[in-house]
């Protein structure tokens, strides 16, 4: 019973620390340990246990010694996305599951990106396309992967939707964990070239503010990837996934 009450106290104080930390800017002082013990009316061990939970959530930083204390921390999307991707990888999310989540996400991101008026982000997309146009062929598979990730992350920012942007990061990190034997682009130069053409066409459609064409290209990418995935399953003698095409 005592352990249950202790656990309940830790959870309750962790919730209060979390709520207080979210109201502060990154790096702002929540309070010294003595101040928080008094504020929350708990023992030092309970405070430390509760704080450790919030630290794991990347909402808090604890510094010991002179000038130390408990400081608010802004969680980083890439760290959160990485943890979510590791969770899905641990539970054996398949390439088919990743594909079925990625493609409708791409369509919505493309639709939203067309209407983004941020000159900085649009400038980044223009620069990306100029770099792509300046390279005839990729010299390595890694160069293709780097360009793919850069474009998709930028697409997430251009969407103006933080939730969708985070989902994109999760799927990109999860894709990086796929077994090399199941990667639909590795050692597939024609596919890499086709994907690159479609991706760059999508970038141009966004810069031209052509929503209908951008959505059409995104859906075409979806069907193209679906077909390649099914071909790879058949080649490996595996059962076909049932994916819904839009």
Q: What is the pLDDT of residues 53-62, one digit of tens each?
A: 999 888 899 9
* Residue 246: band (very low, low, confident or very high) from pLDDT cuts 50, 70, 90: very low
Q: How many domains does the chain have?
A: 2
Q: How far apart are CA 197 and CA 240, in angstroms?
A: 27
Enumerate long-range contacts of 84-87, CB under 8 Å, 24 or more apart: 84/170, 84/173, 85/170, 85/171, 85/173, 85/174, 85/176, 85/177, 86/173, 86/177
Which CATH number covers residue 30?
Answer: 1.10.10.10
> For residue 36, what are the domain limits?
2-72
Range scoring the smallest mean pLDDT among 82-86, 99-103, 158-162, 192-196:
82-86
Range scoring the smallest mean pLDDT among 133-142, 149-158, 173-182:
173-182
Same domain, 20 and 82: no
Same domain, 9 and 62: yes
Whether 47 is in a domain gets the answer yes
Report the predicted TM-score, pTM, of the whole model to 2 decimal places.
0.72
Mark which of 72, 87, 103 sits at the end of a domain.
72
pLDDT of 106 reads 92
Q: Answer whether residue 135 shows pLDDT above 90.
A: no
For the stretch 93-113, pLDDT in tens is 888 888 888 888 999 999 999
Same domain, 104 and 88: yes
pLDDT average, residue stretch 24-40: 94
pLDDT of 181 reads 79
Q: How far apart are CA 3 and CA 58, in angstroms?
A: 26
pLDDT average, residue stretch 11-36: 93
Mark which of 17, 42, 72 sits at the end of a domain.
72
pLDDT of 127 reads 97
pLDDT of 174 reads 82
* Residue 4: band (very low, low, confident or very high) from pLDDT cuts 50, 70, 90: very low
Q: Answer whether residue 48 shows pLDDT above 70.
A: yes
**Between 175 and 125, residue with greater pLDDT:** 125
Same domain, 67 and 88: no
Q: Answer whether residue 2 shows pLDDT above 50.
A: no
* Residue 88: band (very low, low, confident or very high) from pLDDT cuts 50, 70, 90: confident
Whether 245 is in a domain gets the answer no
Same domain, 154 and 183: yes
**If phi over 0 gives left and psi between -120 and 50 gives alpha, with beta otherwise, what is residue 43?**
beta
Whether 31 is in a domain gets the answer yes
Q: At what angle do helices 189-207 and 119-133 cross, to 10 degrees?
A: 140
Average pLDDT, whole number, for the chain? 88
């Amino acid at each position: 019973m005592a352990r249950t009450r202790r656990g309940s106290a830790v959870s309750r104080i962790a919730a209060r620390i979390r709520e207080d930390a979210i109201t502060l800017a990154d790096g702002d002082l929540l309070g010294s340990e003595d101040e928080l013990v008094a504020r929350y009316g708990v023992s030092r061990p309970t405070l430390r246990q509760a704080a450790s939970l919030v630290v794991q959530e990347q909402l808090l930083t604890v510094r010991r010694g002179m000038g130390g204390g408990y400081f608010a921390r802004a969680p980083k999307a890439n760290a959160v996305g990485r943890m979510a991707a590791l969770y899905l990888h641990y539970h054996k999310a398949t390439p088919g599951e990743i594909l079925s989540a990625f493609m409708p996400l791409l369509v919505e991101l493309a639709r939203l990106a067309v209407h983004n008026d941020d000159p900085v982000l649009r400038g980044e997309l223009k620069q990306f396309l100029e770099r792509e146009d300046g390279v005839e062929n990729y010299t390595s598979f890694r160069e293709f992967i780097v360009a793919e990730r850069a474009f998709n992350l930028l697409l997430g920012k251009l969407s103006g939707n933080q939730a969708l942007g985070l989902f994109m990061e999760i799927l990109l990190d999860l894709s990086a964990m796929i077994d090399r034997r199941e990667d639909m682009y590795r050692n597939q130069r024609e596919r890499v070239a086709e994907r690159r053409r479609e991706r760059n066409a999508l970038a141009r459609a966004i810069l031209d503010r052509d929503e209908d064409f951008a959505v059409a290209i995104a859906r075409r990418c979806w069907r193209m990837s679906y077909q390649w995935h099914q071909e790879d399953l058949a080649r490996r003698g595996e059962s076909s996934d049932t994916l819904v095409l839009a």
